[in-house]
Amino acid sequence: MRPSIIIVAAILVFTAHCGGRAVEDPGAGASGAGGSTGPTGGTGGTAGGTGGTTTGGTAGMAASGGTGGSSPICAQGGRAPYCEGEILRPADPMCQGVPAPAGILCTDDTPLCSHYQCKECPGSGGSAMVSIGSACVDQTEVTRAQYQAWLATSPAVSQQAAQCTSNLSFSPDASCMSASDVCSSGCDDHPQTCVDWCDATAYCAFVGKKLCGAYGSWAWKPADPVALGEACHDSTSDDYPYGAVVQPTVCNGSELGAGTSVPVASLADCAREHSDGKIFDLTGNVWEWQDLCSGSECEVHGGSYLETSAASTCAASSSRARDSVASNVGFRCCAE
């Protein structure tokens, strides 16, 4: 069988297998019904057969009815520009056509450029997560209710990162919470604000995630290597989660007139649609702490209800002191 035919067959098969789900036992090659076994050293079994394995090359790929060889393969989604047209031969570190060094989160957006271990988005609490191909991002900002549920477990401040040893409480700052622009009633679904970087980092660690930030050398746009940036752009040049042109009242910017936060995901069009689901409020509502720090300063991302929608772009960022709090700064969690 010609290599081009095998690759096309692999794309068709694995589109059904890898979208946002875990693929277990990457070394297994189960038999298919009614077919013959692929030859050792080949690129895949015949229709209905088992995938063959290679010696000193890339893992085998299954044709229709078979199962892959030594590693699972993710679907060709067609969105990621760094892999299009270069199946198995791209220059990007993400796409060398060799086994990845660690488990990589696979969705229909993940190109067929390497043999990745597929796994579910991690995490044991907080918001549901959406995979953006090589990282997972919370669908929403962490809410007041979610944060309070964590505080109810009496988390120990002694278990914080080294740079947070001076942080003696995870409770939201009382003075900040009493500000006139902070939601005062019916606020369970509003983003938790008035917490500092260390508070946000500790919460994300507790629920089995991490504070969003840079997500590795495979970032699609070197100038914007942050998970929230990619979640917002989705491999486009759009400045906003909903598209390229600003729409002043789609997200919670100053033009909306709320003057405070709104419940997470309450603005249905203020979202970026991914194959795994929508991610909401990536711009506007509240700034979000990032695991991107220089000394005692850390970045916040995406703008808030105090900034114009035009200024609250996918790439909008600002720097704040690690131990500072603000009524318009919250956070969400990510994972790799």
Q: Please say if the pLDDT value at position 7 is more than 80.
A: no
pLDDT of amino acid 307: 98
Query: Which residues have CB under 8 Å from 11's CB, separation 6+?
Result: 75, 76, 112
What gap in Å lies between CA 312 and CA 89, rounded to an integer? 37
Side chain identity, residue 109: D
DSSP classification of residue 214: B
Domain spans, the chain: 1-120, 139-335
For residue 70, what pLDDT band results from cuts at 50, 70 and 90?
A: very low
Q: What is the pLDDT of residues 225-278, one digit of tens each?
A: 567 887 897 878 899 999 999 999 999 999 999 999 999 999 999 999 987 789
3-state secondary structure of 151: helix
Structure tokens at 171: 């409770």
Its pTM stands at 0.68
Q: Name the strand (E) or helix (H) holding 5.
A: helix 3-15
* Predicted pLDDT at 90: 32
| Mean pLDDT (whole number) for 317-330 | 98
Q: Supply φ then ψ for residue 268, to 5 degrees.
A: -60, -30
Structural fold of domain 139-335: paralog of FGE (formylglycine-generating enzyme) (3.90.1580)
What local confidence, expressed as pLDDT, does residue 136 receive?
86
